[in-house]
């Protein structure tokens, strides 16, 4: 049995769970999320204040979907109750970030600024403190969307291993390589 899939999900106070025609709807203090559940072999049941995900058979496909749907519902509940936050740091001389509303403008060492429109569901904030790397803070109730936006921003200038310049997640360690050495 899947260790992730068989774990029940606790439903916190103030969060509503509804399943209708294979669509799971989770409402909480921060918002509402919907997810389609493939009814073929997977079922969700509300038992008291816990949600239990069950599978029909021991097929490999059902085992995979068991853990997947349990984690998707768990992330939805976590998102509408607490939300998700990702911080990105810009390391490099002259690297800057500023936002005006949902439009993020970054100077990443190219000849032109990189402009990126952040989806409405994700809140963006930029911090520039003297002596620290500029920081981009992304917050949302949808874990998948905020992660995808962060990966897209990171993809504009991935951290290179020689000087460590680029966009990286806060706390990410970069394996540094030794450069060329003089051969004499």
What's the domain range around 77? 9-81
- Interaxial angle between packed helices 60-81 and 143-155, expressed in degrees from 0 to 180 and rounded to the nearest 10: 90
Report the chain's mean pLDDT, rounded to a whole number.
90
- Count the neighbouring beta carbons within 10 Å of the beta carbon of residue 16: 11
| Domain end point (choices 53, 81, 109) | 81
- 144 & 156 share domain: yes
How would residue 79 be classed by pLDDT, with cut points 50, 70 and 90? very high
CATH of the domain at 54: 3.90.930.12
- 116 & 155 share domain: yes
Residue 183 lies in a domain: no
* pTM (whole model) above 0.85: yes
| Domain end point (choices 56, 81, 106) | 81
- The residue among 135, 117, 116, 138 whose CA lies nearest residue 126 is 135
Percent of the chain clearing pLDDT 90 (strictly above) = 63
What is the tens place of the pLDDT at every residue in 119-168?
A: 999 999 999 988 899 999 999 999 999 999 999 999 999 999 999 999 99
- 36 & 72 share domain: yes
Quote the number of domains for the chain.
2
- 66 & 92 share domain: no
- 51 & 99 share domain: no
Residue 178 lies in a domain: no
Longest dimension (CA), the chain: 75
How would residue 1 be classed by pLDDT, with cut points 50, 70 and 90? very low
- The residue among 64, 68, 65, 70 whose CA lies nearest residue 52 is 70
Judged by DSSP in three states, 183 sits in coil
| Domain end point (choices 81, 111, 144) | 81
């Amino acid at each position: 049995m899947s260790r992730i899939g068989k774990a029940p999900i606790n439903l916190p106070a103030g969060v509503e769970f509804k399943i209708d025609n294979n669509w799971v709807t989770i409402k909480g203090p921060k918002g509402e999320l919907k997810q389609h559940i493939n009814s073929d072999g997977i079922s969700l049941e509300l038992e008291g204040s816990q949600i239990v995900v069950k599978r029909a058979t021991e097929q490999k496909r059902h085992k995979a979907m068991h853990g997947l749907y349990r984690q998707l519902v768990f992330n939805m509940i976590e998102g509408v109750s607490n939300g998700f936050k990702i911080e990105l740091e810009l390391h490099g001389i002259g690297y800057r970030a500023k936002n005006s509303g949902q439009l993020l403008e970054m100077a990443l060492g190219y000849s032109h600024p990189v402009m990126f429109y952040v989806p409405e569901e994700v809140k963006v904030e930029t911090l520039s403190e003297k002596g620290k790397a500029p920081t981009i803070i992304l917050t949302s109730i949808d874990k998948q969307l905020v992660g995808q936006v962060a990966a897209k921003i990171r993809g504009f200038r991935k951290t290179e291993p020689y000087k460590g310049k680029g966009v990286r997640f806060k706390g990410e360690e970069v394996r540094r390589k030794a450069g060329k050495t003089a051969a004499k």
